[in-house]
Copies of this chain bind each other. A is one copy, B any other.
Amino acid sequence: MNYRLHSPRHFAAAALMLLLITFPTQFVQAEAAKQEPVANFVLDNGMEVVVIPDHRGPIVTHMVWYKVGSADEQPGKSGIAHFFEHLMFKGTKNHPSGELDAMVSSIGGELNAFTTYDYTAYHETVPPKALPTMMALEADRMRNLIIDDAVVATEREVIMEERRSRIDGDPQALLSEEVQPTLYRNHPYRQPVIGWMHEIEQLNSADAKAFYDRYYRPNNAVLVVAGDVTAESVRAMAEATYGKLERGEDLPPRVRPSEPPNDASRAVKMSDARVGIPSFGKYWLTPSRRTGDPGEAEALELLAEILGGGARSRLYQNLVVKDPVAAATGSQYDGDMLDETSFVVYGAPRSPEGLGDLEQRVESEIARIRRDGVSAEELERAKNRLVRSTVFAQDKPSRLAHIYGTALATGATVEDVQEWPERIRAVTAAKVQSTALKYLDPQRMVTSYLLPAAETPN
């Protein structure tokens, strides 16, 4: 579900809602391996700040998160959030296009940006002494961007080419554009983050200006700084840069159209000549951390881990190791969404003719976990794996910045991040089973099939 679009100039792996790509999205145990506490404060103009001091290396990650993503777009204007992310790399009243880029490169740093359904973020990882400049440039482009027809027209061509390459050139991405609107009948998560081509074509400078003026404001942004800094120094720098920006209008609560009750199973089949091995995915709407009852999101995280979260999972052990019928199989749940999210189980057989058999076996595993639940041991092992995985995150300030930023941009707090390990520890085996029973209902499931062109799709 974390369909992230990176600016093409710094193109990272396309983190589409792909079968085989998973994001470690779990929160981290912030206490471990850190001396100074995480600081969290708000500037006078409403900009929230999180500082995660870590003095193990002379490096700092600076991120600005805007609480706006593709699910906040107006009907008919799909793609404007991502379009705007591109425009942010153009010139401002004070700095020509490319200056930030060149500066970060020249000091051996990295920068990037991404757009998701719920937020848009910009980040640089640089030596600490470059931080004031990063803040000045980032604050500058929050309000001083030059948006005109020429800039918009040029970037529109770039984005249309990006869409042709990354969506139209990828059968799995195309399939995902059919699955999402089948899963979401009313909520804007049905629309692709990059936007529909025929709507991207129509985006113009008036749309961009309106979007900028509404959403690119300090009171709609979160600053996250992680690395070799102190909370005091970051506060002073932030006040001297972001703190000078004028607060925007108060935005209404982020309430999007929500889903009606869902009473049908649905299937989406796509055939494509570029597909060699067929695959399937099974999707259910599930609560996110923000929308679920206490403990539900954590139970879903553990369910995804036990059922198909890597090499120790049931699906992998039974269908890849013991009886090797699957080339790939697993499950994934992303709780870091502002609204109702999805749980997916996927599989690809070793040979094309094995699709039906593999699908049945995967369905049996789902039925078994609903019927018999999980054992105390496998639950304990899954908890250990999830909590332990956060240790890796501690080693990279950029990863920590990402985790806190995601949380704060989707309605969670610093405390939520820090309490996550104990919330995971508190989940019982009974809760995992009842959650599987409640949500992984075959009568409310969307199944996707990606098939080689030779097969008839119905």
Instruction: Give A residues with C-beta under 8 Å from B.
Output: 75-76, 78, 174-175, 177-178, 181-182, 185-186, 188, 190-191, 196-199, 255-258, 260-271, 363, 442-443, 445, 447, 456-458
- Give the 4 A-B CB pairs with smallest separation, nearest first: A181-B185, A264-B270, A178-B264, A76-B257
A227 to B360, CA, bound (A): 64
* The residue from B178, B256, B271, B443 contacting A266, defined by CB atoms under 8 A apart: B178
B181 and A181 contact, CB distance less than 8 A: yes
* Chain B residue contacts of A266, Cβ below 8 A: 178, 182, 266-269
Given the known A-B contacts A186-B181, A266-B267, are A260 and B458 also in contact in the complex, defined by CB atoms under 8 Å?
no
* Chain B residue contacts of A258, Cβ below 8 A: 198
* Chain B residue contacts of A257, Cβ below 8 A: 75-76, 78, 199
**Chain B CB within 10 Å — which of A255, A261, A264 has the most?**
A264
A457 and B197 contact, CB distance less than 8 A: no
* Chain B residue contacts of A443, Cβ below 8 A: 271, 457-458
A174 to B155, CA, bound (A): 43
* Chain B residue contacts of A447, Cβ below 8 A: 458
20 pairs, CB–CB < 8 Å, chain A vs chain B: A75-B75, A75-B188, A75-B256, A76-B255, A76-B256, A78-B186, A174-B263, A175-B264, A178-B266, A181-B186, A182-B266, A186-B196, A198-B260, A263-B270, A265-B457, A265-B458, A266-B266, A267-B458, A271-B443, A442-B456
Q: How far is the CB of A343 from chain B (nearest CB, A)?
A: 16
* Chain B residue contacts of A265, Cβ below 8 A: 268-270, 457-458
* Chain B residue contacts of A196, Cβ below 8 A: 186, 260
**Chain B CB within 10 Å — which of A265, A266, A268 has the most?**
A266
Q: How many copies does the complex hold?
A: 2
Q: How far is the CB of A182 from chain B (nearest CB, A)?
A: 5
A457 to B443, CA, bound (A): 6
Given the known A-B contacts A256-B76, A270-B264, are A178 and B185 also in contact in the complex, defined by CB atoms under 8 Å?
yes
A177 and B260 contact, CB distance less than 8 A: yes
Q: How far is the CB of A455 from chain B (nearest CB, A)?
A: 11
* Chain B residue contacts of A458, Cβ below 8 A: 265, 267, 363, 442-443, 445, 447
* Chain B residue contacts of A445, Cβ below 8 A: 458
* Chain B residue contacts of A260, Cβ below 8 A: 177, 196-198
A62 to B295, CA, bound (A): 60
Q: How far is the CB of A120 from chain B (nearest CB, A)?
A: 20
Q: How far is the CB of A184 from chain B (nearest CB, A)?
A: 8
* Chain B residue contacts of A177, Cβ below 8 A: 185, 260
**Chain B CB within 10 Å — which of A185, A255, A256 has the most?**
A185
A174 to B264, CA, bound (A): 9
A265 to B269, CA, bound (A): 5
A448 to B181, CA, bound (A): 16
A256 to B270, CA, bound (A): 27
Given the known A-B contacts A265-B458, A445-B458, are A190 and B182 also in contact in the complex, defined by CB atoms under 8 Å?
no
A178 to B266, CA, bound (A): 9
Q: How far is the CB of A75 from chain B (nearest CB, A)?
A: 5
A363 to B457, CA, bound (A): 13
A168 to B182, CA, bound (A): 20
A267 and B267 contact, CB distance less than 8 A: yes
Chain B residue nearest in CB terms to A260: B196
Chain B residue nearest in CB terms to A197: B260
A267 to B265, CA, bound (A): 8
A191 to B185, CA, bound (A): 8
A270 to B445, CA, bound (A): 11
A271 to B182, CA, bound (A): 18
**Chain B CB within 10 Å — which of A442, A447, A456, A458 has the most?**
A458
Chain B residue nearest in CB terms to A457: B265
A198 to B255, CA, bound (A): 13
B256 and A264 contact, CB distance less than 8 A: no
